[in-house]
Homo-oligomer: A and B are copies of this chain.
Amino acid sequence: MEKTNIAIVGLGTVGSGVARLLLDHGDRTARHAGRTMWLRKAVVRDIEKAKQRMTLPDGVLTDSLDDVINDEEITVVAQLIGGLEPARTIMLKLMESGKDIVTANKALLAEHGPELFDRARQLGRSIAFEASVAGGIPIIANISQCLSANQLQSLEGILNGTSNFIVSQMDEKGSDYADVVAEAQRLGYAEADPTMDVDGTDAAQKLAILAHLAFGATINWNDIPRIGIDGLDPADLRYARELGYRIKLLAVANLTEAGLELSVAPTLLKIGTPLAEVRNAFNAIRAVGDAVGPVFYHGLGAGQMPTASAVVADLIDTAVGRTKLTFQTLEYFCGENPPRAIQRDAASLKGRFYLRLLVANHPGTLGAIANVLSDHSISIASVIQHETDTSESTDRMVPLVIMTHEATEGAASEATNKLEGLSVVSGSVVRLRVKD
């Protein structure tokens, strides 16, 4: 049987999962690849630390990247180190020495995709990156190949498992954001510094990659308007539920007549719809194509073995030769492809909105607020104002929640500013988008 020699660079959580699949399930990978998938080298920074993590066959573990670069028999490398540098330089070196790459590093691709993919094309190499988005859900292959007969019209995704875990727990237990983050860190669902996960950066980077595949748009992830879940108040989760919705950190790419609308934001989703019911560390994506209609994918978005599953599928595809064909054909991140216009005029986008205000509990308040909305052509779909204890002074401020009918983002934004200027409204208005 033919043999493909493989190296892993970086033996962290995912890397050791990949090593385990290759070492423990050689029969399985050989059956799917039609050849032996042989782990020849695993490059780590600290050999002693790696030995504590897992036992590898003699001669596999090394701390020298040159052991891979100078070994012509190694043709495919799973590069599984995070961050931008030295990951970028290592990837370039590996490709220059003739290796095809499999990676899970979405930040690197979101930041340096065009450079790395151009270089790969020049060198006749390929980069596979299924594991970079949505872990165990094979969304890259599905968009690039399986749905290739379609013009995709929209992608909506829950792409960050940490945020979804936090929001699910806040929703189910009514806990505060800070308490749930502490619990998520204890359980290993959130990093010591979870900023990139909870502020929407990670979801925006993944969305930039998916939107490129689906719409040919070359997007700087940093240009995607994004709001994280770090400012989310449990009160909004409660009111949303009362209205029949859950709040999720939703990444959206939507093809409109004006161009491609992109956003990452906490969004109200109707209870019972598939995206609203995605719990804890799961991810999900709903794609709509003009031929296939809606297709929904749900699976584990992170974790050692789901991510390793995606990496090993890519290693097999690369060894079989499918990756090279796809890579050559699709010209990922090729500067010569005319990028699709990105919708930058957010003001004209339409949607429904959830507003929460702190208002004076006296006659005329609701009228004043309704007038502002009406002035901006925003009509009210539903209102929640709970009765307050009548023994308390009517001077007390009380929460008021309004769900609007469809309105433009511009009108909603202007109306929000006006509402914040009213004397009957205290502090700032919480405004969230709603998807039915």
Q: If A32-B329, A322-B326 touch, does A308 touch B149 (CB 8 Å cutoff)?
A: yes
Q: If A141-B146, A272-B277, A322-B145 touch, does A330 touch B300 (CB 8 Å cutoff)?
A: no
Partner of A21, one of B141, B291, B293, B322: B291
- When the two chains form their complex, are residues A299 and B309 in contact, meaning their CB atoms are under 8 A apart? no
- When the two chains form their complex, are residues A312 and B148 in contact, meaning their CB atoms are under 8 A apart? yes
Q: Does any Cβ of B come within 8 Å of A177's Cβ? A: no
- When the two chains form their complex, are residues B309 and A291 in contact, meaning their CB atoms are under 8 A apart? yes
Partner of A274, one of B148, B274, B292, B306: B274
Q: Does any Cβ of B come within 8 Å of A320's Cβ? A: yes
Q: Does any Cβ of B come within 8 Å of A260's Cβ? A: no
Q: Does any Cβ of B come within 8 Å of A339's Cβ? A: no
Chain A window 24-41, contacts with chain B (Cβ cutoff 8 Å), 1 for yes, 0 for no: 010011011110000000
- Residues of chain B within 8 A of A21, CB atoms compared: 149, 291
- When the two chains form their complex, are residues B151 and A142 in contact, meaning their CB atoms are under 8 A apart? no
A residues touching B (Cβ–Cβ < 8 Å)?
17, 21, 25, 28-29, 31-34, 130, 136-138, 141-142, 145-151, 216, 272, 274, 277, 289-300, 303, 305-306, 308-313, 316-317, 320-322, 325-326, 328-330
In the complex, 15 of the A-B residue pairs with CB atoms within 8 angstroms, ordered by the A residue number, are A17-B291, A29-B148, A29-B149, A32-B145, A136-B295, A138-B295, A145-B313, A148-B313, A149-B308, A149-B310, A150-B309, A293-B299, A294-B298, A296-B297, A321-B325
Excluding A31-B216, A141-B145, A320-B326, 20 further A-B contacts by CB distance (< 8 Å) are A25-B149, A28-B151, A29-B148, A32-B145, A34-B330, A136-B291, A138-B146, A142-B146, A145-B313, A145-B317, A149-B308, A150-B309, A292-B300, A293-B305, A294-B298, A294-B300, A296-B299, A320-B325, A321-B325, A322-B322
